[in-house]
Amino acid sequence: MHSFKTWHKGLALTLPLIALLAGCNRGDKVEEPKTHAVATYVSAPWEALPSVSDEDLLAGFGSWRSACTRLKADTVWGATCAAAVSVPLTAVDVRNFLKQNLDVYGLRSGDNSPNGLITGYYEPVYPGSLTQTASANIPVYGVPEDMIIVSLDSIYPELKGKRLRGRLEGRVLKPYDDAATIETNGVKAPVIAWLTDPMNLQFLQIQGSGRIRLDDGRQLRIGYADQNGHPYRPIGRWLVEQGELKKEDVTMGTISAWAKANPNRIPELLGSNPSYVFFNRNPDSNEGPRGSLNVPLTAGYSVAVDRKVIPLGSLLWLSTTRPDGSALNRPVAAQDTGGAIAGEVRADLFWGTGEAAGNLAGDMKQQGQIWMLWPKGMALPQVPQVANTVTANP
């Protein structure tokens, strides 16, 4: 993804965390590290927002309002969503509604910078088959039968939403296989479909959803179901570390070109990312894929965010550029998440389905700013604290 979007779901914690959580307290006096908030919100007037066209205003508002069925019971957005249902889709009415109901906050990074990274993602369409053939022999796996998932928040409430993935060996829970092992040995899981290219499977896992085009013209829709519990490591970073690409040149296109020129090294490339995503089959539909909020994404107006900084369901004002450098200012809806979308001023813009969307998403690695439109009278999100960088003495 460019700045790739891994599956648009939260990364799992790995098993070594248990050792940290269960560490002994010897009573030693340890100086508490200094911390800062991973992001801050700065109040701003409406006039601070970059101007947008009426078309973009209505499309962004419509994208956000489409999730109100999921947010009607939300303590922050419920009342605003209830009021939004009856707002006529005219630029005047929408602007008046936003100003009457929402306050503006500029997002700032830990060092108080308003600038951050804006990337893109899309729903790919790849050729494949429902049965294994000579050309379609790359399995797309469903969730493994022997993978055990442990929710940690039943013991540690502060780890709400965090889970471990593993496999029982006797009475011991061991980490689940990494991607290289799964690629080599397979896995005890149903095969949803078969692809023709291992790089297509990797990009499908990065994007988190996609379509498989069958020989008869039908398109099979699949989406993220689960993950093997290993951390996501960008394959583009590995190519940079190997001296194969320059950091500024990493895109889906350059990675694909390298793979075609170096087919014998593809297993090595894919093995550098231990994360592995499992899929399920989604109902046939012309809607966009469903993000973490479980509503269809809107091309050009839905974004994936770090939910520790921006709660899902939020309405944002985005100011960035397209890959060609032209301005892109519009309201967007925070409707998805991604393991690579983490911290500070960060968003991943959904561009739609197919090759044209993929070209935009693959090349998008832009600087940008984000404002959060937040319901009046509601407390701002509590962002986590992170340790300050410590420089060792020479």
Nearest by Cα to 305 from 321, 320, 292, 295? 292
Q: For residue 207, what pLDDT is reported?
A: 86
Q: For residue 384, what pLDDT is reported?
A: 67
Q: For residue 52, what pLDDT is reported?
A: 97
Question: How far is Cα 259 from Cα 252, in angstroms, rounded to an integer?
Answer: 11
Given the DSSP bridges, would you call strands 116-123 and 346-353 parallel, antiparallel or unpaired?
parallel
Instruction: Check if the beta carbon of residue 153 is closer than 8 Å to that of residue 161.
Output: yes
Q: For residue 17, what pLDDT is reported?
A: 39
Predicted model pTM: 0.76
By three-state DSSP, how is residue 378 classified? coil
Q: Give the position of tokens 């999921």.
A: 70
Alpha carbon distances (Å) from 56 to 18, 52, 251, 267, 360: 47, 6, 27, 43, 18
Mean pLDDT by 10 residues, the chain (394 residues): 40 39 40 57 95 98 96 94 96 97 94 92 94 96 92 72 82 92 95 97 91 94 92 94 93 92 96 95 86 92 93 97 95 89 88 91 93 96 61 36
Q: For residue 22, what pLDDT is reported?
A: 38
Q: For residue 12, what pLDDT is reported?
A: 39
Q: Which tokens is 87 given?
A: 């707002």
Largest CA distance in the chain: 69
Q: For residue 333, what pLDDT is reported?
A: 98
Q: For residue 332, what pLDDT is reported?
A: 98
Q: For residue 21, what pLDDT is reported?
A: 35
By three-state DSSP, how is residue 355 classified? helix
Please report the beta strands in 248-291, taking only residues with DSSP state E, as ranges in sequence order. 277-281
Question: How far is Cα 121 from Cα 300, in angstroms, rounded to an integer?
Answer: 10
Q: For residue 15, what pLDDT is reported?
A: 40
Q: Which tokens is 44 given?
A: 């701003």
Instruction: Check if the beta carbon of residue 136 is closer than 8 Å to that of residue 129.
Output: yes
Question: How far is Cα 219 from Cα 253, in angstroms, rounded to an integer?
Answer: 23
Nearest by Cα to 387 from 9, 24, 25, 31? 31
- AA identity, residue 172: V
Alpha carbon distances (Å) from 263 to 4, 201, 259, 260, 267: 21, 15, 6, 6, 8
Q: For residue 29, what pLDDT is reported?
A: 44
